[in-house]
């Protein structure tokens, strides 16, 4: 390390002089650092808008019922035909059944007669089964340790064999565990408090079968069988169709029962479950009996969903327009470390607020996205078979452009929209949610030509088209600013949304590249400045050493003259 002498000979503050000289030199680094900070802020602003667009799609789709979340948390898309707010279904006897109409349900009045509910097959111990300690099969049922337990349960889903020869080392719970872990559609259970065993198929319906083949050789005074025949060890019985208790016969197939009902003129219908869909009406049968079912267009429900979507769209548009219109304070650049030290925390916060304002003002990427969204809402839907082909025909228009406002918000004519729904709700839904041909809908847009993308948009319903245009804009923003920490959010919007960014851009955004270039310039300047500071110090050090030698010579000369005068 070079030793720096600070003004010992000259009496000057060399450290201060070098610092002042370097401060002027460092303005170049400070300027580039500020430029890099502005790019970083702009990247954050882009990513904030993209989060806004992503959440608009996810939230509005969820509210419309176009997506659903599974029990494992997986997000799945749902078709328009499954929407539960388009048609309403009411039943005169709610104790008989619960009903819910989907989009494709045909309006009308229907008679429902339920003659039999679907059920599973089940059996249970007719009385307490234990004769001793429940630690193992031998003590619990009074069996010999060397008895043989050997039975097979076969269902429509598979089979499991239980074979034990040392009954002192096996408990009833061990046997039950093996049965349940076989995953063959059967549930076994032992209630210790009741001291009874239960066995049943998991699912209802005649297709769910069970057969028990019991080859056990058991002592203890019974039939020698564990599950089947008279006097079996577990005293297992089931109820026949007449409600009489019967022993479970060996190697005999049993099954559940299908539901039996009449729906309108269709009589003798069967379903394996009490929950099913018929003519786009979801049923859950509860008891036998009769009732009247009425299916009608849910005018208020459709209006409410469209109104809520328009509100969410307008909120998204207002926030995005706010970014495009925010005032830019070009005189307020990011603070340098020295500038920040001279300000209070509150002053620095206010300064930074203005410095961040308007970073996306008149941004071409966002402006192009909003333009495609707005124009797409007012172009006709090609191939529509309904009576409506444009948004204005159902009473939805764009607000007037006010001075100082970008406008573009949607406005609803309540009376006109209500009449359109009452006139032909299916046509309203087709206008909004129509899907393009599968040859276009199932392909990634990056593989489509410009003409094919235009045709896809043309064939799409207005909300479907809007979502596609928003996603296309989001891809442009990702290319510009990257996904940030929102990768999973974007994949929930569209599973392939990041493919182009990875393949075409190598997962590096344009702004990241620009910031990388600035970072290299800063590194180069830092090396240059370090060398220049070293040179300054070398020059001043040389000066100090020269002055020190001169001072020493002057002192020697003065000493010599002093000697002569004496």
Digit-coded pLDDT (tens) for 448-457: 899 999 999 9
Q: Is 460 helix (H, G, I), strand (E, B) or coil?
A: coil
What whole-number distance in Å separates Cα of residue 484 and Cα of residue 43?
A: 9
pLDDT digits (tens, 9 = 90+) for 313-346: 999 999 999 999 999 998 999 888 888 888 899 9
- pLDDT the model gives residue 565: 57
- pLDDT the model gives residue 10: 58
- H or E stretch at 430: helix 414-433
- pLDDT the model gives residue 500: 84
- pLDDT the model gives residue 70: 58
CA atoms within 13 A on the CB side of 15: 5
Contact 56, 49 (CB under 8 A): no
Positions of the chain with pLDDT under 50:
1, 5
- pLDDT the model gives residue 172: 97
Exposure class string for 7-19: b at 16+ Cβ within 10 A, else e: bebbeeebeeebe
Helix 414-433 vs helix 299-325: angle between axes, to the nearest 10 degrees?
A: 80
What whole-number distance in Å separates Cα of residue 311 and Cα of residue 517?
A: 43
What whole-number distance in Å separates Cα of residue 374 and Cα of residue 246?
A: 71
What whole-number distance in Å separates Cα of residue 83 and Cα of residue 66?
A: 7
Contact 281, 84 (CB under 8 A): no
Q: Which of 509, 518, 515, 539 is nearest to 39 (CA)?
A: 515
Tokens of 434: 């129509």
Can you name the residues that pair with 399 across neighbouring β-strands? none
Sheet containing 97-101: order of strands = 97-101, 281-285, 275-278
- pLDDT the model gives residue 1: 43
- pLDDT the model gives residue 545: 74
CA atoms within 13 A on the CB side of 43: 21
List Cα–Cα distances, 269 to 113, 266, 276, 351, 392, in angstroms: 10, 7, 12, 74, 45
- pLDDT the model gives residue 134: 95
Tokens of 557: 């000369």
> Around Cβ 209, how many Cβ atoms within 10 Å?
17
Which ranges in 86-195 belong to alpha helices (H)? Answer: 137-141, 172-181
E strand spans, 344-457: 396-398, 410-412
- pLDDT the model gives residue 528: 81
Q: Which of 299, 290, 283, 222 is nearest to 262 (CA)?
A: 290
> Around Cβ 508, how many Cβ atoms within 10 Å?
13
Which ranges in 95-207 belong to alpha helices (H)? Answer: 137-141, 172-181
- pLDDT the model gives residue 404: 52
- pLDDT the model gives residue 12: 65
Contact 370, 56 (CB under 8 A): no
Contact 473, 366 (CB under 8 A): yes
User: Does the pTM exceed 0.85?
Assistant: no
CA angle 6, 7, 8 (to 5 degrees): 100
Sign (positive or negative) of CA dihedral 281, 286, 289, 294: negative
What whole-number distance in Å separates Cα of residue 125 and Cα of residue 199?
A: 9
């Amino acid at each position: 390390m070079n030793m720096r002498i600070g003004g010992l000979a000259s009496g000057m503050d060399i450290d201060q002089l070098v610092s002042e000289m370097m401060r002027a030199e460092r303005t170049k680094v400070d300027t580039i650092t500020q430029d890099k900070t502005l790019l970083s802020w702009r990247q954050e602003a882009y990513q904030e808008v993209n989060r806004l667009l992503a959440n608009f799609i996810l939230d509005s789709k969820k509210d419309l019922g176009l997506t659903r979340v599974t029990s494992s948390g997986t997000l799945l898309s749902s078709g328009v035909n499954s929407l539960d707010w388009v048609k309403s279904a009411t039943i005169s006897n709610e104790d008989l059944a619960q009903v819910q109409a989907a989009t494709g349900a045909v309006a009308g009045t229907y008679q429902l007669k339920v003659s039999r509910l679907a059920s599973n097959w089940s059996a249970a111990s007719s009385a307490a089964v234990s004769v001793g300690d429940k630690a193992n099969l031998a003590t619990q049922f009074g069996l010999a340790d060397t008895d043989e337990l050997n039975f097979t349960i076969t269902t429509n889903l598979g089979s499991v064999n239980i074979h034990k020869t040392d009954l002192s080392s096996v408990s009833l719970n061990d046997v039950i565990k093996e049965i349940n872990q076989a995953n063959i559609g059967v549930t076994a259970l032992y209630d210790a408090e009741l001291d009874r065993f239960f066995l049943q198929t998991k699912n209802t319906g005649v297709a769910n079968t069970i057969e028990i083949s019991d080859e056990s050789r058991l002592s203890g005074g019974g039939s020698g069988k564990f599950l089947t025949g008279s006097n079996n060890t577990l005293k297992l019985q089931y109820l026949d169709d007449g409600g009489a208790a019967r022993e479970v016969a060996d190697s005999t197939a049993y099954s559940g029962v299908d539901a039996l009902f009449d729906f309108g003129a269709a009589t003798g219908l069967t379903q394996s479950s009490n929950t099913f869909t018929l003519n786009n009406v979801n049923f859950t049968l509860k008891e036998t009996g009769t009732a009247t079912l009425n299916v009608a267009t849910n005018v208020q429900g459709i209006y409410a969903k469209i109104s809520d979507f328009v509100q969410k769209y307008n909120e998204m548009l207002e926030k995005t327009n706010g970014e495009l219109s925010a005032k830019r304070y070009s005189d307020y650049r990011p603070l340098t470390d020295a500038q920040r030290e001279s300000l209070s925390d509150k002053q620095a916060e206010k300064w930074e607020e203005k410095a961040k304002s308007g970073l996306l003002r008149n941004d071409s990427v966002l402006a192009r996205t909003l333009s495609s969204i707005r124009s797409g809402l007012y172009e006709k839907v090609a191939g529509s078979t309904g009576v409506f082909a444009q948004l204005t025909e159902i009473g939805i228009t764009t607000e007037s452009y006010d001075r100082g406002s970008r406008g573009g918000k949607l406005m609803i004519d309540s009376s006109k929209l209500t009449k359109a729904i009452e006139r032909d709700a299916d046509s309203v839904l087709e206008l909004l949610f129509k899907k393009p041909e599968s040859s276009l809908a199932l392909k990634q847009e990056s593989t489509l030509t410009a003409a094919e993308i235009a045709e896809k948009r043309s064939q799409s319903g207005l909300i479907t088209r809007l979502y596609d245009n928003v996603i296309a804009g989001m891809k442009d923003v990702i290319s510009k600013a990257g996904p940030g920490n929102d990768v999973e959010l974007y994949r929930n919007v569209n599973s392939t949304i990041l493919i182009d960014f990875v393949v075409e851009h190598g997962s590096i955004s344009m702004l990241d590249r620009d910031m990388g270039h600035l970072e290299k310039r800063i590194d180069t300047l830092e090396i240059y400045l370090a060398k220049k500071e070293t040179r300054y110090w070398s020059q001043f050090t040389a000066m100090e050493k020269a002055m020190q030698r001169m001072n020493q010579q002057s002192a020697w000369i003065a000493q010599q003259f002093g000697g002569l005068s004496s």
